[in-house]
């Protein structure tokens, strides 16, 4: 008998993949069918996503899937990074190349918006952390700089929903990613129309919000034909990559979570799972976010700039003629001097610098620390600083929930960085369980399997993952030195930046 196969299209900021997942006997196996690079494309001084190239790559991956698994394939679903969107105009015309969230058009726009509607009012209605690139602020930037394009828009689709539209023709937005926009009111589960109107953002462009796991339809005829897949179902997983990843945390623990998580990739999304959004004054002060998960859960979490700093340093080294892979960079960092210089990964200087090592050096000299000079010093500085930021954020999460974290689950591509996992255990004084690397794809696949009736509740999904993957365990080590470094770090972050 054949095993049902679910296809996950998982688009990260750095790479995209089409992965086949098979679910059988309470276990899941993944097979990567196609991987392709992704990233910002510089277009006349702006940063865009090449959605047409991504669409081609998705279809290439689906063609490989059809050749390999043919009739076993039940459905396909797409997840991507949050916040970014596509606008469609008259006759579903694509209104321009979608902007990358790191594009400079939102520089300073948050101040403009907050002078119009105070921070606490926006937080009350959305429960989201204030990041300049949230969809809300991207739309405010458009209202100011490109009002005629916004006025011509008839439909806004978030990235995964855009690809679901290309796949199936359906124009809806799935719930988990809708919660990243800062345009959704978690109290009502609908678009925050009053808030949108205050910013003159047209409310009619926002489509229906559908629950995670919704069957959106079947593949469009031409896509079914071109890929050879036939009219399989298109199912919305948790379309927000972080939502899918946290659904696949490999825990067997039930009841109130005693664990925190870090979804580690381009970003480090660190948080805890809570049964309802926490929108207290303190949550606003700490600028934490409440993103929607599956089965009514929320992710109380903080965006930490993550391995972006290493990705971009690696790119700069390559431009200087030194091509180093992530393994080599990790080894160089391991051999570098500990705690030589530290930084706040979330300083705005690191959001989209032209040259990451130069930005890191400028930050260090500007805070009276030695500039990292070698590749090893640069990467070590980034990794130690990330781990120390994890500790700070863990303290905030525990303060907000009153729950002590006993273990930290790290999932995503960043689990391949053993040095960072060990640093996280050391800095946070907590055991770390690392894996799976492909948590997002696992979450995507298992949510589709759930729609198909093959898996049950969220805790069943997590048990399936826990039974199916190998995990690495890290115990805290050298904690006195890390405590000392944390005191230094704490003082450093209190220094106002220029």
CB under 5 to 8 A by kind: which of ligand ADP, ligand LRH, none does 77 bind?
none
Active site residue 335: no
CB under 5 to 8 A by kind: which of ligand LRH, ligand ADP, none does 311 bind?
ligand ADP
Is-contact 170 217, C-beta < 8 A? yes
Interface with ligand ADP (CB under 6 A), residue from 150, 307, 441, 485: 307
Binding mask 384-413 for ligand ADP (x = CB under 6 A): ----------------------------xx
Interface with ligand ADP (CB under 6 A), residue from 135, 180, 182, 417: 417
Nearer to ligand LRH, 13 or 232 (CB): 13
CB under 5 to 8 A by kind: which of ligand ADP, ligand LRH, none does 313 bind?
none
Interface with ligand LRH (CB under 6 A), residue from 49, 85, 101, 396: 101
- In terms of DSSP bridges, do strands 27-37 and 15-24 run parallel, antiparallel, or are they unpaired? antiparallel
Does 59 bind ligand ADP (CB under 6 A)? Our answer is no
CB of 438 to ligand ADP, least distance (A): 8
Residue count at the site for ligand LRH (CB under 6 A)? 13
CB of 13 to ligand LRH, least distance (A): 6
CB under 5 to 8 A by kind: which of ligand ADP, ligand LRH, none does 83 bind?
ligand LRH
Interface with ligand LRH (CB under 6 A), residue from 87, 269, 294, 454: 269
Nearer to ligand ADP, 262 or 427 (CB): 262
CB under 5 to 8 A by kind: which of ligand ADP, ligand LRH, none does 242 bind?
ligand LRH
Does 98 bind ligand LRH (CB under 6 A)? Our answer is no
Q: What CA dihedral angle connects 299, 305, 307 and 309, to 10 degrees?
A: 180
CB under 5 to 8 A by kind: which of ligand LRH, ligand ADP, none does 210 bind?
none
Q: How many CB atoms lie within 10 A of CB 371?
A: 18
Is-contact 88 95, C-beta < 8 A? yes
Evaluate the CA torsion angle 141, 145, 150, 151 in order and state its sign: positive
Q: Which of residues 309-328 bind ligand ADP (CB under 6 A)?
A: 310-311, 326-327
CB under 5 to 8 A by kind: which of ligand LRH, ligand ADP, none does 375 bind?
none
Is-contact 60 108, C-beta < 8 A? no
Nearer to ligand LRH, 23 or 382 (CB): 382
Nearer to ligand LRH, 39 or 169 (CB): 39
Does 219 bind ligand ADP (CB under 6 A)? Our answer is no
Does 243 bind ligand ADP (CB under 6 A)? Our answer is no
Nearer to ligand LRH, 10 or 375 (CB): 10
CB of 1 to ligand LRH, least distance (A): 37
Structure tokens at 341: 């210089």
Residue among 241, 295, 325, 344 flagged as catalytic: 241
Residue count at the site for ligand ADP (CB under 6 A)? 17
Nearer to ligand ADP, 284 or 408 (CB): 408
Does 146 bind ligand ADP (CB under 6 A)? Our answer is no
CB of 247 to ligand LRH, least distance (A): 14
Interface with ligand LRH (CB under 6 A), residue from 106, 135, 233, 303: 303
For the chain, give the secondary structure using H, E and C.
CCCCEEEEEEECCCEEEEEEEEEECCEEEEEEEEEEECCCEEECCEEECCHHHHHHHHHHHHHHHHHHHHHHEEEEEEEECCCCEEEECHHHCECCCCECCCCHHHCCHHHHHHHHCCHHHHHHHHCCCCCCCCHHHHHHHHHHHCHHHHHHCCEEEEHHHHHHHHHHCCCCEEHHHHCCCCCEECCCCEECHHHHHHCCCCHHHCCCEECCCCEEEECCHHHHHHHCCCCCEEECCCCEHHHHHHHCCCCCCCCCCCEEEEEECCCEEEEEEECCCCCCHHHHHCCCEEEECCCCCEEEEEEECCCHHHHHHHHHHHHCCCCCCHHHHHHHHHHCCCCCCCCCCCCHHHCCCCCHHHHHHHHHHHCCCCCCCCHHHHHHHHHHHHHHHHHHHHHHHHHHHCCCCCEEEEECHHHHCHHHHHHHHHHHCCCEEECCCCHHHHHHHHHHHHHCCCCCCHHHHHHHHHHHCCCEEECCCCHHHHHHHHHHHHHHHHCCCC
Q: Which of residues 231-250 bind ligand LRH (CB under 6 A)?
A: 240-242
Does 341 bind ligand LRH (CB under 6 A)? Our answer is no
Catalytic positions, written as ranges: 241
Which residues of the chain form contacts with ligand LRH (CB under 6 A)? 12-13, 81-83, 101, 240-242, 266-267, 269, 303
Which residues of the chain form contacts with ligand ADP (CB under 6 A)? 12-15, 265-266, 307, 310-311, 326-327, 330, 412-414, 416-417
């Amino acid at each position: 008998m054949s095993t049902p196969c679910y296809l996950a299209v998982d688009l990260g900021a750095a790479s995209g993949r089409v992965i086949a997942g098979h679910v059988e006997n309470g276990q899941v196996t993944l097979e990567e069918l196609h991987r392709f690079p992704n990233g910002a494309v510089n277009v006349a001084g702006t940063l865009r996503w090449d959605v047409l190239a991504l669409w081609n790559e998705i279809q290439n991956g689906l063609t490989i899937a059809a050749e390999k698994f043919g009739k076993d394939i039940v459905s396909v679903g797409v997840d991507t990074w949050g916040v970014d969107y596509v606008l469609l105009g008259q006759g579903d015309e694509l209104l321009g190349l979608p902007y990358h969230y790191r594009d400079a058009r939102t520089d300073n726009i948050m101040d403009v918006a907050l002078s119009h509607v105070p921070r606490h009012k926006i937080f009350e209605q959305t429960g989201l952390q204030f990041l300049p690139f949230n969809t809300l602020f991207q739309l405010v930037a458009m209202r100011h700089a490109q009002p005629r394009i916004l006025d011509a828009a008839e439909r806004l689709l978030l990235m995964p929903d855009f690809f679901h539209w290309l796949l199936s023709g359906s124009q809806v937005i799935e719930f988990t990613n809708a919660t990243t926009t800062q345009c959704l009111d978690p109290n009502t589960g609908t678009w925050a129309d009053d808030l949108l109107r205050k910013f003159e953002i047209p409310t009619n462009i926002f489509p229906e919000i559908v629950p995670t796991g919704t069957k959106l339809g079947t593949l469009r005829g031409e896509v079914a034909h071109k890929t050879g897949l036939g009219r399989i179902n298109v199912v919305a997983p948790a379309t927000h990559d972080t939502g899918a990843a946290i659904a696949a945390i490999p825990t067997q623990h039930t009841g109130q979570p005693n664990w925190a998580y870090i979804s580690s990739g381009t970003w480090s999304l660190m948080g805890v799972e809570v049964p309802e959004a926490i929108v207290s004054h303190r949550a606003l002060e700490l600028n934490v976010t409440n993103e929607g998960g599956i089965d009514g859960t929320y992710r109380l979490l903080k965006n930490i700039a993550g391995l972006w700093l290493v990705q971009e340093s690696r790119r700069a080294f390559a431009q200087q003629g030194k091509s180093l892979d992530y393994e080599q960079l990790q080894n160089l960092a391991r051999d570098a001097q500990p705690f030589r210089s530290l930084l706040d990964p979330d300083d705005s200087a690191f959001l989209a610098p032209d040259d990451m090592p130069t930005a890191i050096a400028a930050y260090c000299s500007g805070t009276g620390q030695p500039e990292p000079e070698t590749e090893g010093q640069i990467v070590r500085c980034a990794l130690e600083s990330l781990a120390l930021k994890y500790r700070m954020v863990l303290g905030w999460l525990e303060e907000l929930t009153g729950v002590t974290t006993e273990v930290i689950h790290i999932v995503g591509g960043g689990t391949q960085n053993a040095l960072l996992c060990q640093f996280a255990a050391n800095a946070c004084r907590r055991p770390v369980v690392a894996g799976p690397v492909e948590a997002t794809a696992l979450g995507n696949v298992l949510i589709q399997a759930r729609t198909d009736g093959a898996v049950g509740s969220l805790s069943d999904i997590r048990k399936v993952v826990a039974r199916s993957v190998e995990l690495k365990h890290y115990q805290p080590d050298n904690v006195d030195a890390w405590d000392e470094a944390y005191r230094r770090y704490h003082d450093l972050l209190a220094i106002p930046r220029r």
